[in-house]
């Protein structure tokens, strides 16, 4: 009797488990169906352009609010917070849904820990494009995050920032009365940029200084010339590359023709305070100096795959000795060119260790005219040395002190002329 009861009990338990399992599968497939249905509905509703005017969160319908069953991260948490804001925030009537969305994307990119992966709203995207074209309004300084501190990578040549005394390596402690440690680099740029004629107050700590200093800078229209050419003693050409932009190759090519026409004996290539720019322009300029088939830079992608970029063989300046100047404000493309010339041509580098921005960013346009700048690869010099965080070490270290700067002395350039003069006399 006990055996029969036990068997019946096991049968009932098994049936109950099967019903529970069936119900779970039913719920799962129902959830999948609802996800597909909401995706299709959201897709059809999401074809309209994004609204750029303020969008109150209380009257906002969310487009493409879907869950991905294959992901381990539960995005329901995000929508839960969104709904809590919508229902409970004391100023919910004035909350702007578009700003909340942009802020979420900014936060996601900030959480990568990579200061060079950033989000640009439509206005910032337009400003960035103008900046790369060399014409914008602001103070004229490239900013970055170094050791988690907002840092001046370089003030642009003849910019309001440079004229006011801002220097490469300066730590920006406050923008107006806002502490910079509490904001992202994009917020810092937005606070510092402004209309021509307006002022911005920065609290900065100069390299080597013990106390911070307040600097008031009057914003202006920034027009940056890519390449400057002068001639020094003994037919020495002095070329300063301020950036690697659309017009840089053309300007450098014209400088190359003048150098050859003047029968120049040697070149000083000054890339101090050059924050970088377009990689292809760097390769083009290297091709005017180095023979064909020389490695300019090696890119390493997120799978560890390496790809070398080579010169195309114009090498007009290959027979001339070149001395290179760099400092803390030399970053990105300028570090690549310095490393390429040293590794391939044994050009001497004089000055101070460069900034160490050895990564590749891809600018990706988004449907509402906003964009994201994503780090997609790391750079190495032709000899295989990583640039990121390490920078380029000079062969001859010469510091430019605060006293030198204040008294218009340039011991780095003086040393470059001395070294090149010795080379020409050998």
- Phi and psi angles of residue 113, each rounded to the nearest 5 degrees, phi first: 80, 5
- Is residue 332 among the annotated active site residues? yes
Cα separation, 289 vs 347, in Å, equals 11
Cα separation, 339 vs 82, in Å, equals 48
- Residue 213's DSSP bridge partners are 204
- Is residue 361 among the annotated active site residues? yes
- Phi and psi angles of residue 38, each rounded to the nearest 5 degrees, phi first: -70, -35
Q: At what angle do helices 333-345 and 279-289 cross, to 10 degrees?
A: 30
Q: At what angle do helices 279-289 and 248-261 cross, to 10 degrees?
A: 10
Catalytic residue among 86, 294, 314, 357: 357
Catalytic residue among 98, 162, 332, 412: 332
- Residue 124's DSSP bridge partners are none
Catalytic residue among 226, 361, 370, 371: 361
Separation of CA 328 from chain center: 16
Cα separation, 146 vs 148, in Å, equals 5
DSSP H/E element including 112: none
Question: Which residues have CB under 8 Å from 158's CB, separation 6+?
Answer: none
DSSP letter for 92, please.
G
Half-sphere exposure of 398 toward its Cβ, with a 13 Å CA cutoff? Answer: 21
| Three-state DSSP state, 334 | helix
- Is residue 412 among the annotated active site residues? no
Cα separation, 172 vs 148, in Å, equals 11
Note whether 323 and 347 are within 8 A (CB): yes
Q: Which residues are catalytic?
A: 332, 357, 361
């Amino acid at each position: 009797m006990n055996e029969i009861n036990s068997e019946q009990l096991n049968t009932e338990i098994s049936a109950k488990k099967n019903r529970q399992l069936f119900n779970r599968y039913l719920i799962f497939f129902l959830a999948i169906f609802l996800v597909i249905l909401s995706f299709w509905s959201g897709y059809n509703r999401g074809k309209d352009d994004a609204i750029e005017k303020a969008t109150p969160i209380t009257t906002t319908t969310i487009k493409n609010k879907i869950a991905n069953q294959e992901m381990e991260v539960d995005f329901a948490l995000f929508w839960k917070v969104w709904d809590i804001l919508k229902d409970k925030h004391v100023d919910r009537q004035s909350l702007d849904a578009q700003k909340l969305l942009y802020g979420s994307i900014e936060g996601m990119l900030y959480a990568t820990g990579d200061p060079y992966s950033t989000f640009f709203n439509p206005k910032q995207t337009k400003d960035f494009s103008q900046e790369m074209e060399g014409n914008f309004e602001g103070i004229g300084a490239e900013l970055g995050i170094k050791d988690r501190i907002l840092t001046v990578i370089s003030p642009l040549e003849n910019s309001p920032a440079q004229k006011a005394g801002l220097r490469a390596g300066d730590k920006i402690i406050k923008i107006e009365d806002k502490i910079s440690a509490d904001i992202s680099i994009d917020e810092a740029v937005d606070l510092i940029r402004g209309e021509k004629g307006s002022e911005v107050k920065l609290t900065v700590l100069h390299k080597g200084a013990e106390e911070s200093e307040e600097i008031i800078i009057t914003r202006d229209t920034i027009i940056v010339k890519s390449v400057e050419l002068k001639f020094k003693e003994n037919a020495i050409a002095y070329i300063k590359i301020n950036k690697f932009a659309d017009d840089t190759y053309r300007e450098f090519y014209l400088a190359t023709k003048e150098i050859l026409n003047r029968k120049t004996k040697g070149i000083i290539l000054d890339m101090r305070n050059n924050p970088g720019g377009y990689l292809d322009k760097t390769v083009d300029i290297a091709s005017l100096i180095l023979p064909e088939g020389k490695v300019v830079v090696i890119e390493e992608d997120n799978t560890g795959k390496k790809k070398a970029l080579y010169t195309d063989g114009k090498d007009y300046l290959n027979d001339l000795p070149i001395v290179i100047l760099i400092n803390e404000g030399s970053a990105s493309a300028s570090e690549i060119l310095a490393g390429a010339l040293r590794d391939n041509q044994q050009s001497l580098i004089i000055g101070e260790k460069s900034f160490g921005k050895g990564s590749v960013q891809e600018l990706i346009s988004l449907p509402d005219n906003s964009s994201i700048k994503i780090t997609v690869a790391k750079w190495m010099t032709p000899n295989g040395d990583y640039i990121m965080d390490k920078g380029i070490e000079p062969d001859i270290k010469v510091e430019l002190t605060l006293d030198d700067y204040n008294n218009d002395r340039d011991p780095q350039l003086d040393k470059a002329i001395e070294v090149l003069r010795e080379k020409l006399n050998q």
